[in-house]
Amino acid sequence: ERPAEAEAEAEGRRPELVGAARDPPPEDGREGGDGEALHVAKRRKVLCSEFAAIAGSDAAVARRFLAGSDWHMERALNAYFESPLETEGAAVGAGSGSCIDLTADATTSNAGVNSADPGQKEDDSSFSLITWNIDGLDIGNLKERARGVCRYLALYNPDVVFLQEVIPPHLCLLQMKAGSYTIIPGNMDEYFTVIMLKKSRVKVLKHEIIPFPTTAMKRNLLVVHVNISGNELCLMTSHLESTKNHSKERTKQLQIVLDRMQKESESTTVIFGGDTNLRDSEVAKLGDLPKNVMDIWEFLGKPQHCRYTWDTQSNTNLNAAYKCKMRFDRVYFRPAAEGGNIIPRSMDLIGLEKLDCGRFPSDHWGVLCNFDVIL
């Protein structure tokens, strides 16, 4: 969404990235004494642990890439993930010709990146979801930004991913890098949506694409039925019609989404997430959401740290002359009738740090949602 005029809402504080390892300033190796040398050694040990957790490598591989990148975390990860397949395969013990998987063995928590344990059993008591418009229509720094998105997916290791503004090169990258996910596109031409489902957690039952009959922008609704931890879910994503001038069409599309959410079986939990481009006034015109459908951000008490997902004041990708803060990216939830098996727990924003190219992965922040599963 790139409106032609500012549509400022109330100020909201900018959140900090939760769970991401912070990069220290590069070290020049000129330590001035034993105390400083000990501090540097400890800091480098921590960096090695963080690198190993993200990359799924051992400490020796981590130290090699970090040392070769002047102990700069992002550059080291770039070098690791972009090195030849044979080198990476040998480094992580993969067989010859195996798929490079950015998402393998990377686990996180709100406290930081945990140590990877390849034999660790999946936690059936929760699951995570990311929805993100990754701005494939912006060709500037496209490769760097696409790799940045992949690194965030590797870092957070979500069970479910909704992506919008995906372009064919993105899809090829995801298919090559994210081998532990089932990848379902909503189209294959120009730009489209994608749902990614972690194979070890999510059993895919069926999927369908529901066209929006009067769209001028080739928008649709991608629907996937799955089973997670013994619970049936209907997962939906869309990129609703863009710009203020298309408010009427966007509202019609929202009504189609809400109708479909309500028509799903009462035994099924329904989650919709995506770039809705919605203004609160447009939802109000429909008479607000149905009683059995909740806006997760509102359900969690309207936390200000994740209110604005499209913020031209904090996000400089567009170099916009106007400053505008909007909650375009939303997640809706309709619980199963017997209720209580799946409960939204938290929401945070991701993608808040600039890449080495000086730009953010997207002009939108990503939205990370965590859910509790009552077993």
DSSP string covering 103-172 = TTT--EETTEEPPP-TTPPP-TTEEEEEEEE--TT--TTHHHHHHHHHHHHHHH--SEEEEEEE-HHHHH
Annotation marks residue 275 as catalytic:
yes
Place of tokens 């002359």: 321
CA distances from 226 to 7, 78, 195, 219, 330 (A): 38, 33, 12, 23, 21
Q: Which of 101, 105, 135, 275 is catalytic?
A: 275
Neighbours of 133 (CB within 10 A): 27
What is the residue type of 372? D
Q: Buried (b) or exposed (e) across 153-162, using 16+ Cβ within 10 A?
A: bbbbbbbbbb
Cα torsion angle, 45, 46, 48, 53, sign:
positive
Do residues 181 and 196 touch, judged by C-beta distance below 8 A? Answer: yes
- Neighbouring residues of 106: CB distance < 8 A, sequence distance ≥ 6: 53, 54, 55, 56, 113, 116, 154, 155, 156, 157
Can you tell me the distance from the alpha carbon of 79 to that of 279, in angstroms, rounded to the nearest whole number?
41
Q: Quick one: how many helices (H) and strands (E) in the chain?
A: 9, 16
Can you tell me the distance from the alpha carbon of 165 to that of 257, in angstroms, rounded to the nearest whole number?
18
Place of tokens 């993100």: 132
Do residues 125 and 370 touch, judged by C-beta distance below 8 A? Answer: no
Neighbours of 283 (CB within 10 A): 17
DSSP string covering 156-216 = H--SEEEEEEE-HHHHHHHHHH-TTEEEEES-SSSSEEEEEEETTTEEEEEEEEEE-TT-S
Which residues are part of the catalytic machinery? Answer: 275
